[in-house]
Chains A and B, each alone.
Chain A
Amino acid sequence: MEFTEEQLQRYSRHIILPEVGGKGQKKLLNAKVFIVGAGGLGCPVGYYLTAAGIGTIGIIDNDNVELSNLQRQIAHSVHTLGMPKVESAKRTFEALNPDVKIIAIKDRITKDNIIDLIKDYDVIVDGSDNFPTRYLVNDACVMLGKPLVSGAILRFEGQVTTILPKEGHCYRCLFEEPPPPGLVPSCQEAGVLGILPGVIGALQATEVIKLILGKGEVLKNELLIYNALNTTFRKVKVRRNPECPVCSDTPRIKELVDYSEGYCALR
């Protein structure tokens, strides 16, 4: 594949980086990334990956755009209120870079559809806002051996980690089971600083790009915690649990689990 003149201009600041170059940019253009959620995290992740020229971006979300989203979900606007979030995001991303193929899926991700949805993608990004989905995505990625870049936000604090199944830790090595419904408040109940998903989403997009380029270090066996109120970044070491219920050599969990029962945030 040769670059068009337009691509040379668009990606020139990437191409002149020694770590990217024409070869790296072509890897990005051939890559397929799947994003779970078109909300606070999914918007900046998708926006930056679109700008970077990721060839195919799949994005799933079952919600419609509401006014209360616009404080942080930067792919949506007053012009797309009421529209499915994935459709709103698709329009925004396509306006930024028509090179990128956006596959918008308005649906809930479940144990019955997740494998088919993600199996053809190179990297999965979790930008979901609830524990049932977080565990479902983790387990599916472990079972398929897909790299997963996971992000989470609440109030003024966000976390990022990169899961390379069997090479490093997985989400269940960190927290074996989801917390009981109601124990950890949702953003809906506790609030979130609008800019926080921008920071965390940008970090997630960076991890994705490094995975595709095969350059640098990713957050394997590490959890990065950002506190916006104190302006601190903290890295916590995480070990792969040899007895992890899903990623150990003798897993207890061999089938996907639906934890959505009792979680009211799921619609």
Chain B
Amino acid sequence: MEPDKRINIKGLVCPYTFVKAKLAIEDMEVGQVLEILLDYEEASRSIPNSMEDHGHKVLKVEKINDTDWIIQVRKERD
């Protein structure tokens, strides 16, 4: 799926990974999709969990190479 917005948070660790992702999705419209590129393994699990906690829909979590993950999240609520 083609995302509406992409952010690159490689190099960041928790909690700033989620802080950046949350701020990005706050500025989007309900129904839009955010794609997050990251390289911090723990965040590849914690960001999807936190996004679901906040009521959003995680569409994809994919390891794309030795170091990086891509997460796609659809904004479900303001």
Interface pair A8/B16, CB less than 8 Å apart: yes
- Cβ of A18 within 8 Å of any chain B Cβ, yes or no, is yes
A30 within 8 A of B: no
**In the complex, are the beta carbons of A22 and B23 less than 8 A apart?**
yes
Give the residue among A3, A9, A13, A16 with the most B Cβ atoms within 10 A: A16
| Least Cβ–Cβ distance between A24 and chain B, in angstroms | 10
With A16-B50, A18-B54: A9-B23 Cβ-Cβ less than 8 Å = no
Task: Mark A1-26 against chain B: 1 for CB-CB distance below 8 A, else 0.
Answer: 00100001100110110100111000
Say whether chain B's binding surface is mostly helix, strand, loop, or mixed: helix
The CB with the most chain A CB atoms within 10 A, among B18, B19, B20, is that of: B19
Asked if B15 and A16 sit within 8 Å, CB to CB, the answer is: yes
Contact of B26 among A8, A12, A22 (CB under 8 A): A22
Given contacts A22-B22, A22-B23, A23-B26, contact A12 B15 (CB under 8 A): yes
Find B16's partner among A9, A18, A21, A23 (CB 8 Å cutoff): A9
Give a binary string over B1-26; 1 marks a CB under 8 Å from any A CB, 0 the rest: 00000000000000110111011001
User: What CA separation (Å) do A15 and B26 show in the bound complex?
Assistant: 11
Instruction: State A13–B18 Cα separation when bound (angstroms).
Output: 10
- A12 contacts which chain B residues (CB < 8 A)? 15-16, 19
Q: Mark B49-75, 1 if CB is under 8 A from A, else 0.
A: 010011100000000000000000000
Which of B15, B22, B53 is within 8 Å of A21, CB to CB?
B22
CB neighbours of B20 from chain A (8 A): 8
Inter-chain contacts of B54 with A (CB < 8 A) = 18
* CA distance in complex: A18, B77 (Å): 11
Quote the shortest CB–CB distance from B2 to chain A (angstroms).
25
Contact A15 B19 (CB under 8 A): yes
Task: List residues of chain A with CB within 8 A of the CB of B50.
Answer: 16
> Bound state CA distance, A18 and B18, in angstroms?
12
State A12–B14 Cα separation when bound (angstroms): 10
Tell me which residues from 5 to 51 in chain A have a Cβ below 8 Å from any Cβ of chain B.
8-9, 12-13, 15-16, 18, 21-23
Most A CB contacts (10 A, CB to CB) among B15, B23, B55 go to B23
Instruction: Please name the residue on chain B nearest to A23 by beta carbon.
Output: B26
Query: How many angstroms between the C-alpha atoms of A16 and B19 in the bound complex?
Result: 6
Which chain A positions have C-beta within 8 A of B55?
A: 18
Q: List 19 A-B contacts (CB under 8 A).
A: A3-B23, A8-B20, A8-B23, A9-B16, A12-B15, A12-B16, A12-B19, A15-B23, A16-B15, A16-B18, A16-B22, A16-B50, A18-B53, A18-B54, A21-B22, A21-B23, A22-B22, A22-B23, A22-B26
Q: B: which residues have CB within 8 A of A?
A: 15-16, 18-20, 22-23, 26, 50, 53-55
Q: Which 6 A-B pairs have the closest CB atoms?
A: A22-B23, A12-B19, A22-B26, A18-B54, A15-B19, A12-B15
Given pairs A9-B16, A18-B54, A22-B26, 15 additional interface contacts (CB within 8 A): A8-B19, A8-B20, A8-B23, A12-B15, A12-B19, A13-B15, A15-B19, A15-B23, A16-B15, A16-B18, A16-B19, A16-B50, A18-B53, A18-B55, A21-B22
